[in-house]
Amino acid sequence: MKKSVLIPVIAFILGVLLTVAAYSLHTKKDDVKNILVSSVSPLTTKVVYSTADSVTQGYYFPTHDNLLVMDRANAETCEAFIVQVAPNKFTHRHIHDDTEQIFYILSGKGRLDLERGGKKESFIVNPKDFVHVPRNCYHQTFCEGADSLKYLAIDCFPGGHNPEEPTWDSHAIAVCKMKGWDYKEARIKKN
């Protein structure tokens, strides 16, 4: 990754982590019992992660690719991955009740369709755009350029991640099952 992109990406990630920390500090006393206690020790977790394709674990879904950067098992309230959507393709329309998503557009051109409060909205996204997808909003991204749309996605779990899906891999298995996709096929890179 070029230095001109690396610095904003690092600043972006730090901003997301500070936002999650600030949210945690402002949680109501009554909500504290709903927050899952993480087994992640801040004294032993990995600190620096690579976004290089050769290092990330790939998940190649029929609609898009996810390249895992940081597994949710390595953090208390977040995970990160690179999403790649090929030209004229799109992610599946979906919703998260436990996750806010942050996207930082790395390359390509695209569109985000978002439905909140029953209202449908569309947003054009370009490199260096920062996108926030609130919880409980249906959303879908589309590649609308000649090159793949590529963005860093950070999932933030304000109440902790789903204990039934403690790792990204367990989440990917659940998504494949729900969508009728073959998990083993999703782990094989297609050219």
The pLDDT tens digits of the residues spanning 143-158 come to 999 999 999 999 999 9
Report the pLDDT averaged over residues 39-58.
81
H or E segment to which residue 162 belongs: none
Q: Label residue 169 by pLDDT band (50, 70, 90).
A: very high
CA atoms within 13 Å, Cβ hemisphere of 23: 16
Q: Which of 37-46, 107-116, 159-168, 171-180 has the lowest mean pLDDT?
A: 37-46
Kindly compute the dihedral angle of the four CA atoms of residues 162, 163, 166, 169, in this order, to the nearest 10 degrees. Answer: -60
Residues 64-118 have pLDDT tens digits of: 999 999 999 988 899 999 999 999 999 999 999 999 999 999 999 999 999 999 9
Q: pTM of this prediction?
A: 0.79
Which residues have C-beta within 8 Å of that of residue 106, sequence separation ≥ 6? Answer: 5, 9, 82, 127, 150, 151, 152
162 vs 138: CA distance, rounded Å: 19
pLDDT score at 160: 87
More confident residue, 20 or 64: 64
**Secondary-structure percent of the chain, ordered helix, strand, coil, rounded to 5:** 25, 30, 45
CA-wise closest residue to 73 among 106, 45, 43, 113: 45
Q: Is the dihedral of CA 7, 11, 160, 181 positive or negative?
A: negative
Q: Label residue 29 by pLDDT band (50, 70, 90).
A: very low
Range with top average pLDDT, 53-57, 76-80, 121-125: 121-125
H or E segment to which residue 63 belongs: none
Give the whole-number percent of the chain exceeding pLDDT 70.
79
Question: Please, which residues bridge with residue 79 across strands?
Answer: 155
Sketch out the chain's domains with CATH numbers.
3-186 (2.60.120.10)
